[in-house]
Structure 1
């Protein structure tokens, strides 16, 4: 019987699972660690709710004061006119018909004019007004003038660094794209300006110098142009450092194009893991389209159980993206995104002189947003398709590689996320969420879907299991309690369940590997938060049901962030 050094056997197994996708539970590598940080950032990204109604339609006067005069006359037809005398061809038969071919009073006329006013305001003409001018009724025909509210002057009072020509381009693509002042376009302009960080904006309307015209004033002021933050958490692992600290900064409106510069650095308590990230974007047109570039560098060294391997590696990402505010209304936000990314990954085990290098190029197309779907409820959604091409190289001996090892290949993944938060009486809310990933092939470690961690099944650590295809179902009941002067204490009960397949294709998979996995956990959480100041998050979660790999250790999660 041949005998092998134990360390070499372990090493051979580890590299095989990374390169050939044959064994379950590979050790941590650059792809897995990068994916953990990526999913954490996605979870921490602020969800933006729809604004709700910004510009209320002027009060509807349904009950008009009665006219004391009892004058009556016969009405047979109604002609709608603009102020210049041109006839309006809009079909308002459903409103005018009940008044025709009968004798009516002055009260009836006033009521008819108000109903026409309401019709136009309900159909997006914010300042529309119908009125009856002095006239003689001939042959039973009544003339009613309708002021739809044409936009006259637009004045920009700019006390910010935002370039005025960018503001005017937004004006031209919204309120000035119609002949009349349209409520939806006015709201869109306000929402596009609200999306620009580092400024505060306000819109005001007043009667124009010309009859039937409305002037718009856009007021802009500089807001806080930078935000710094420091955070700590225990979402790391024993092999690279359990506790992590992040220090970052966001700077807004550097060159007046609504631009944003974001950079941060993360390090573990053992300094075996650190990550540098930078992102810069700016607005390129009056539609709010944003172009950006980003870069990320991660470096790690494994300790604890893998210390003898002297394993280390790095990941470098360089990408670009275009985002577009496809829909901006008071009740719906929809953003579309096109992104490109180049990734280089390197892993090595110096103790046995083994190396692996990977290059991954991806193109992704996605949609995401939020919707006030029902009263007191908000639905959040995102859908993203990734087309990837990757290449592998390794100095591992050929007979150690799995049979389905491919140095070059392509892949496609589809990711989705859907959640709904419903606010309930007595300061409660309930959130239901589902997310997941589908793919056409077995995936590299950096593109797998993580079932555990604070963004998934919280009863398990983030690196406990990764799958090619998987889904996570979550339910959470929250209670909101105001404390101190500006803070909120949010307590919660939650249930998480995740399931999936570790490998899409199992033809070459060892029969000893259980491909299908399912994780479940329940827990409680506390979050003390003061907006724009601090947030402290505590959560305790316990695995339930069949334990994955006999893991029965409860998880206690801690994170805190201070902004300045």
Structure 2
């Protein structure tokens, strides 16, 4: 079949191909004014353009504790306290220095209610220290000498299988849920708050399970039983969204969908399918996860496929197209799981196969094999009216293989030298702080960063522009081997008086720095200023709206200063020159 390309292009294809390969590696000014889009870049952008959900500074509610049974008060009792002695779990009194807490009441004359208040105060104190079932009570005694006896019980669950009872109706076997709780509640040990919270939260972490719990008195003295009422949650959940977060070369308007089948096999598993569509790209993904142990170890496997073709005017004649295929497997485990703080450890492997084509021939054929190890967590506190801190760190040990295209490998050897092994570290930390008790105002501050030991493939670079970065710049702006991004937002919740409708207004400042290349080479900085390191800054405002299952996010940002990374024609990464960017996303969950 006769080629549709002009004869001049076809006859000069080896030279064109070489120029394109060099452009995709170094993007020399004489070849292109804007960076050639490629599969690794588009995959990287897709993975980084989903802003985190707004956090709440309120931790999950506390769990229900057993009610107290008290003696009938003696209204005629009056006693002047000369001393307080403890009985029962005396070691607890010594460990928590309870004598110091009762010292202020010595010498006072109290009635029965006053004595009971002392015991109640000690109970609250011990439970606040994490002894969930601890109890201080007044046994029958003779108070003629003014010595008050307070009995202490640390509190334990009953021994045996009956210590945990799971009721309700779920797709999961109740014995499996009981085993989850039992893994966090060692038999015969004192019941601590962190153990109880871990047990209940691990159950609620199971897909398709919604559980409530309570404690009731056990049949054995000083013991309790854990009652778990488990109900089936949503069998199917997910959402649909539309946004303008796409790369201009393949279409900024995106339509996204995700659906999850929760607990389909009744073993705590979950199957998730997702898709995203623009005018010039499609991405499909699937993942499956299941628990490996009752204590929270979880396995996840996944795969995705991205296809693209570039319809941007300056690249149309090159017929740029390609695909990215990924496969992954990983483990996660909650080292700490509680109401107020959580810490997870993760380990995973991912394979990426990236192919780019131009004028019908292979331009790049690359693969990446990455092992990633990470820690992430959060902590709620009451500092200055309360807030939550979120953080994470990961180490990636990877290998880039360029052997699929010898010309690409040769060009890389003469320029970036990215072929082979690499390491990179990613860090993120954020804080959401209430600005006053009961205030509608809050302050959000976030920082993310990346460091690499050598020049990286486009699939691994740190991105500074876009809706999750410096918001006055487009997707793909300032992609570098190293970088950091800082965000400061002042937020205010607006009372609309309409049930289920929440409106949040915000103003923000974004700032960041990028190092385009760890190791520079001649012609590596394809920008108007020739700089490898530079900063981007922006200010803006936005409105977020939540109504029932619907969410709307908007943001408008303006640049502060110029863009040192602009092309020689003064254009940003999307081939435009504008000081303003607007972002919008609408979504509905089901």
Shift of 1:68: 3.9
Q: Which residue of 2 aligns with 1:121?
A: 127
1:406-445 correspondence to structure 2 within 5 Å: 406=417, 408-425=419-436, 426-445=439-458
- Residue among 524, 534, 537 paired with 2:553: 537
Task: Report the counterpart of residue 520 of structure 2 in structure 1.
Answer: 506
Q: Distance in 2 between matches of 1:497 and 1:318?
A: 34
Corresponding residue SS for 1:297? strand
Paired residues, number: 549
Q: How far, CA to CA, are the matches of 1:411 and 1:176 in structure 2?
A: 43
> Tell me, what secondary structure is at the counterpart of 2:295?
coil
Say which SS state the counterpart of residue 396 (structure 1) adopts: helix
CA distance in 1 between counterparts of 2:494 and 2:212 reads 31
2:299 is the counterpart of 1:291: yes
For residues 220 and 54 of structure 1, what CA distance do their matches in structure 2 show? Answer: 17
Alignment partner of 1:436: what SS?
Answer: strand
Task: Supply the distance in 2 between the matched residues of 1:238 and 1:363 (Cα, whole angstroms).
Answer: 31
Q: Quick check: 1:226–1:250 contact (8 Å CA) kept in 2?
A: yes
Q: Which residue of 2 aligns with 1:363?
A: 371
Do the aligned partners of 1:489 and 1:529 also contact (CA within 8 Å) in 2? yes
1:144-190 per-residue CA deviation (whole Å, 9 max, x = no partner) reads 53232221232110311122232122221223355233222112222
SS of residue matched to 1:464: coil
**Kept after mapping to 1: 8 A contact 2:42/2:247:** no
Q: Within 5 A, what are the aligned runs for 1:324-403?
A: 324-350=333-359, 353-373=361-381, 374=383, 375-393=385-403, 394-396=405-407, 403=414
Q: Deviations over 1:430-472 (max 9, x none)?
A: 2111111111000001000111000001111112221110111
Residue 410 of structure 1: how far off its partner (Å): 0.5
Paired with 2:442 and 2:260, the residues of 1 have a C-alpha distance of 31
Q: 2:551 matched to 1:521?
A: no
Q: Distance in 2 between matches of 1:247 and 1:454?
A: 19
Q: How far did residue 354 of structure 1 move?
A: 4.5
Change in Cα spacing, 1:121 to 1:405, as seen in structure 2 (3 Å) is: closer
Q: Deviations over 1:347-402 (max 9, x none)?
A: 12125x45211111001111112211423211111111111011103243888565
Alpha-carbon shift at residue 266 of structure 1 (Å): 1.1
**C-alpha distance in 2 between matches for 1:293 and 1:306:** 36
Relative distance call for 1:546 and 1:369 in structure 2 (3 A) is: same
Which residue of 91, 109, 114 maps to 2:94? 91
Alignment of 1:91-490 (within 5 A): 91=94, 94-96=97-99, 113-114=119-120, 116-135=122-141, 144-152=150-158, 153-268=163-278, 270=279, 272-304=280-312, 305-350=314-359, 353-373=361-381, 374=383, 375-393=385-403, 394-396=405-407, 403-404=414-415, 406=417, 408-425=419-436, 426-483=439-496, 484-490=498-504
Listed one character per residue, the Cα deviations across residues 287-320 of structure 1 (whole Å, up to 9, x for unaligned) are: 1221100111101111222111111111100001
Indicate which of 74, 85, 88 corresponds to 1:81. 88
1:69-96 per-position Cα deviation (integer Å, ceiling 9, x unaligned): 4566976x845236xxxx7575269433
Contact 1:20–1:402 (CA under 8 A) maintained in structure 2: no
2:414 match: secondary structure: coil
2:574 aligns to what? none
**For structure 1, which segment, 153-162 or 423-432, has the greater mean C-alpha deviation from structure 2 after superposition?**
423-432
- For the residue of structure 2 that corresponds to 1:165, the secondary structure is helix
Say which SS state the counterpart of residue 455 (structure 2) adopts.
Answer: coil
State the partner residue of 2:4: none
CA distance 1:110–1:50, shift in 2 (3 Å): closer
Stretch deviating more after TM superposition (432-441 or 90-99): 90-99
Alpha-carbon separation, structure 2, partners of 1:194 and 1:455: 30
Give unpaired runs (5+ residues) of structure 1.
none
Between the aligned partners of 1:53 and 1:245, the Cα distance in structure 2 is 36
Separation of aligned partners in 2, 1:127 and 1:399: 69
The 3 A distance-change label for structure 1 pair 518 and 122 is closer
Contact 1:230 1:561 survives alignment (8 Å): yes
Contact preservation (8 Å) 1:16, 1:402: no
In 2 relative to 1, CA 204–313 (structure 1 residues): closer, same or farther, beyond 3 Å? same
> Offset at 1:516?
1.4
In structure 2, stretches of 5+ residues that fail to align are 1-7, 572-576
> Could you report, residue by residue, the CA deviation over 1:10-37 in whole angstroms, capped at 9, with x for unpaired residues?
7544412434688896311000000010
The normalised TM-score by structure 2 is 0.83
Distance 1:482 1:170, change over 3 A: same
Shift of 1:116: 4.8
**RMSD of the alignment, in Å?**
3.5
Between 129-138 and 215-224, the greater mean CA deviation after superposition: 129-138
TM-score relative to the length of structure 1 = 0.87
Task: Measure, in 2, the Cα distance between the counterparts of 1:9 and 1:481.
Answer: 60
Q: How far did 1:563 drift?
A: 2.2
2:588 corresponds in structure 1 to 562
1:520: Cα distance to partner?
1.4
**TM-aligned CA deviation for residue 120 of structure 1:** 3.4
Structure 2 Cα separation of the partners of residues 538 and 115 of structure 1: 50
- Aligned residue for 2:219, secondary structure, equals coil
Pick closer, same or farther for the CA change 1:92–1:235 going to 2, 3 Å: closer
Change (3 A) 1:341 1:239: same
Q: Deviations over 1:237-272 (max 9, x none)?
A: 33212211112211111112222211111111x2x2
1:323 deviates by: 1.0
Closer/same/farther in 2, CA of residues 406 and 519 from structure 1, 3 Å limit: closer
